[in-house]
Amino acid sequence: MINKQLNLKFICLVSALICGAMTTNLQASSEQTAESFVQSLVLFNEAVSTQANDGSPEDALELRRQALSQARETSKTDLNEHLSGLGDKFYSLFIDGLELQIAGQTEHDNQRIASGQEALSSWQSWYASNLDSIRRTN
């Protein structure tokens, strides 16, 4: 489990760093979506970092809740206008993954936690494989 957490931490760090490359383009279509998109990833990264560094589970859970709140502030349409499929994947993998993790932690359900982690890993794989397109899209 710790290896998966550290791997996810690395994935989130990379994701947060690359988000800066797309913020300018996203701001052209929707400043609020861009800010919320990036902030949701940053908060999620903080949650993973907190958990990986033996921080309080309650603190990590609160950061995940904040990340989910920010993620829900995004517009799927704006993200899809930036790059076809970006909004769909963000909602179906990142947001759904966070919801599963939060529910799993709240209800002490390891299956939901694992399903959430799987969705978040799938999100990162999709995001990383589409990074060049995301950067090129105006």
DSSP 12-78: HHHHHHHHHHHHHHHHHH-HHHHHHHHHHHHHHHHHHHHHHTT--HHHHHHHHHHHHHHHHTS-HHH
Domain spans in the chain, listed from the N-terminal domain onward: 2-136
CB 96 within 8 A of CB 119: yes
- Mean pLDDT of the 115-127 span: 93
Among residues of the chain, what percentage have pLDDT more than 90? 54
**Choice between 51 and 96, residue whose per-residue pLDDT is larger:** 96
Average pLDDT score, the chain: 82
- Pairwise CA distance, residues 52 & 58, whole Å: 13
